[in-house]
Copies of this chain bind each other. A is one copy, B any other.
Amino acid sequence: MAAKPHRVTVTDVARAAGVSEQTVSRTVHDSPAVRAETKERVRRAMRELGYRPNFAGQSLRRGRYHTLGVVMFDITATGNLDRLDGFTRAAEKSGYAITLLRAPESPTLTEAARRMSALPVDGMIFCLNRMVDDFYDFRPPFDLKTVIITMKEHPVLSTGDNDQHRCSRDVVDYLLARGHRTVHHIAGPLRSLSGMQREEGWRQALAERGIEPPAVFRGDWSSASGYEAGVRLASNPKVTAVYASNDAMAYGCIRALEANGRHVPEDVSVIGVDDVLSAIVPDVNLTSVRFDNRQVGLWAVEKIIDDSPAGSQREHRLFQGHIVEHESVRSLL
């Protein structure tokens, strides 16, 4: 029966309840300065008309959106689901929402920020999975607090991510401490930032211990590429320890080693990254580095929402992964 439905405003409610707009507004915010009786009348009118505060009106007045923008350069990257879970969880705690933007083509942070800053957001988080041209020069609009999820330090912005260097060091130390003479590496593709950082960490860790890093096997995250590497590694009897940049390649490598008569962990120890294998492969226990991406997400959001002076300090935060021990490693000692 209602004519063309029309968005209900404070004015409508005020008219229906026979009060002023101001009294309606006060009722919405449950001000004590309204008689209980009046409030009830206003509330009934709101319910009957189906009143819902207009977000634009409120924001225009308040100058805040209670929303944070997240820019992802590659949405389907590993760990993004957990990161998003962290973002939304932390946001929710403070009554914030998360607005998501893809920036797959964008070569620069500046361009991505331009798109994001046209949206109703109070702050921005960039998830940087690959290189951008303007990392160090990038400056966000002064009114948008910004955090970048990356291992690189930025001159003015807070940054943070899983510590990929440390991850590799820990793996190398773990294996050397168990008597292995060196550690072979199956790396991720060149375009992946985290992959490159793990590789660099591995190289440095060996070099610092006076060990010449052996030739790297370049994979593409797929288990097939790990298998290929494994075939080559199997032919070298001196290989006793392999560190793969993700679990899929590690598992591929294990299968190739086994197929070529070298047993894991009896002959060769293997360590991966991500700790995702046990959910999928029941009887192979791969030692792996686990990162807590949800925690990174929580940190980033809290860094932006935190209004304290400490909160606005620039910070560079690295989150340590930890080695989840399974039976794919043998001590030679």
Contacts and interface: CB of A to CB of B under 8 A. Distances in A.
Interface of A: 5, 7, 50, 52-57, 59-60, 63, 65, 67, 75-76, 80-82, 84-85, 88-89, 92, 97-102, 117-120, 141-143, 221-224, 226-227, 247-248, 251-252, 255-256, 259, 276-283
Given A80-B81, A119-B97, A102 B89 contact: yes
Contact of A76 (B81, B98, B278): B81
Nearest to A277: B280
B55 A118 contact: yes
B279 A63 contact: no
18 contacts: A5-B143, A53-B118, A55-B59, A55-B118, A67-B119, A88-B102, A97-B101, A98-B101, A120-B120, A222-B282, A223-B279, A224-B278, A227-B282, A252-B282, A256-B282, A259-B283, A280-B280, A280-B281
Contacts of A76: 81-82, 85
Contacts of A278: 223-224
Given A5-B143, A52-B141, 9 more contacts: A52-B117, A55-B65, A56-B59, A67-B119, A80-B81, A226-B282, A256-B282, A259-B283, A276-B280
A327 to B, nearest CB: 15
Contacts of A120: 55-56, 59, 65, 67, 120
How many copies of this chain are found per oligomer?
2
B251 A282 contact: yes
A264 B119 CA distance: 53
Contacts of A222: 279, 282
A251 B226 contact: no
Contacts of A224: 278, 282
A224 B57 CA distance: 53
Nearest to A59: B56
A247 B280 contact: yes
Contacts of A251: 280-282
B100 A99 contact: yes
Given A222-B279, A227-B283, A280-B247, A75 B65 contact: no
A62 to B, nearest CB: 9
B60 A56 contact: yes
Given A75-B85, A222-B279, A282-B223, A97 B99 contact: yes
A118 B117 CA distance: 21
A274 to B, nearest CB: 10
Nearest to A89: B102
Contact of A223 (B92, B98, B280): B280
A247 to B, nearest CB: 7
Contacts of A226: 282
Considering the complex of A and B, which 10 residue pairs feature the smallest CB-CB distances, nearest first? A56-B59, A56-B60, A227-B282, A223-B282, A252-B282, A55-B120, A88-B102, A248-B280, A99-B99, A75-B85
